[in-house]
């Protein structure tokens, strides 16, 4: 089904490489968006599209942090807590989000809207504290800005806008 639905996009990806296997990461991103996560069935489907042994594809999904083989919310909120962010407000931001979303980092809110994660450096250290929402950057997210940000994201979901947990349509 995935191939039928995204034939043009997948074919375009395949055309870039002399080896089908190279298309694995991009095709997994498509599958992840299409199915909301990479469960076993979708991983096997991708393997079949690319003629790869199942195990090889599971291996790749397991290795990279941007492939989610567990349930995630509509938005994955990644807060950088690395040096230097952790000394520039990241801890406060995580604490604030945990309190507001009523989940610990690493978990998904009950309404399946947000998954909160601590992540390592995302190359925006001068803008700390910083987070990515579905891989879109939000800079200088001091706790006072959090309510508006969350509201914004919720509204986006309600408005039916295109949501990509893989960041395929990321704007900034």
* Residues within the interface to other proteins (CB under 8 A): 16-19, 21-26, 28-29, 40, 43-44, 50, 52-60, 62-67, 78, 81-84, 86-88, 120-126, 128, 132, 135-137, 166-172
Location of structure tokens 């909120």: 77
Q: Which is nearer to other proteins, 102 or 120 (CB)?
A: 120
Give the CA dihedral 121, 43, 169, 79, nearest 10 degrees: -30
Q: At its nearest, how many Å lie between other proteins and the CB of residue 102? A: 25
CB of 110 to other proteins, least distance (A): 26
Per the CB < 8 A criterion, the answer to whether 97 and 146 are in contact is yes
Whichever of 67 and 114 has its CB closer to other proteins, that residue is 67
Q: Is 116 or 128 the residue whose CB approaches other proteins more closely? A: 128
Cis peptide bond N-terminal to 140, omega within 30: no
> Least Å distance between CB 97 and other proteins?
18
Nearest distance from C-beta of residue 141 to other proteins, angstroms? 15
In the complex with other proteins, the residue whose CB is nearer, 82 or 100, is 82
Question: Please, are residues 132 and 122 in contact by the beta-carbon 8 Å criterion?
Answer: yes
Q: How far is the CB of 83 from other proteins (least distance, A)?
A: 5
Specify the residue, 54 or 151, whose C-beta has the smaller distance to other proteins. 54
Q: 9 to each of 24, 51, 82, 88, 134, how far by Cα in Å?
A: 13, 17, 35, 41, 20
Alpha carbons 22 and 158: distance in angstroms, whole number:
36
């Amino acid at each position: 089904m995935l191939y039928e639905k995204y034939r043009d996009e997948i074919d375009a990806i395949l055309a870039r490489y002399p080896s089908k296997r190279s298309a694995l990461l991009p095709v997994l991103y498509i599958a992840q968006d299409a199915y909301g996560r990479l469960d076993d069935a979708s991983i096997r489907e991708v393997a079949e599209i690319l003629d790869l042994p199942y195990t090889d594809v599971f291996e790749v999904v397991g290795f990279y942090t941007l492939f989610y083989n567990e349930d995630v919310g509509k938005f994955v909120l990644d807060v950088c807590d690395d040096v230097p962010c952790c000394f520039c407000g990241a801890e406060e931001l995580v604490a604030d989000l945990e309190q507001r979303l009523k989940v610990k980092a690493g978990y998904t809110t009950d309404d399946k809207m947000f998954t909160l994660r601590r992540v390592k450096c995302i190359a925006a250290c001068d803008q700390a504290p910083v987070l990515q929402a579905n891989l879109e950057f939000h800079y200088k997210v001091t706790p006072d800005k959090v309510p508006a940000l969350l509201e914004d994201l919720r509204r986006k979901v309600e408005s039916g806008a295109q949501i990509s947990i893989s960041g395929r349509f990321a704007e900034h």
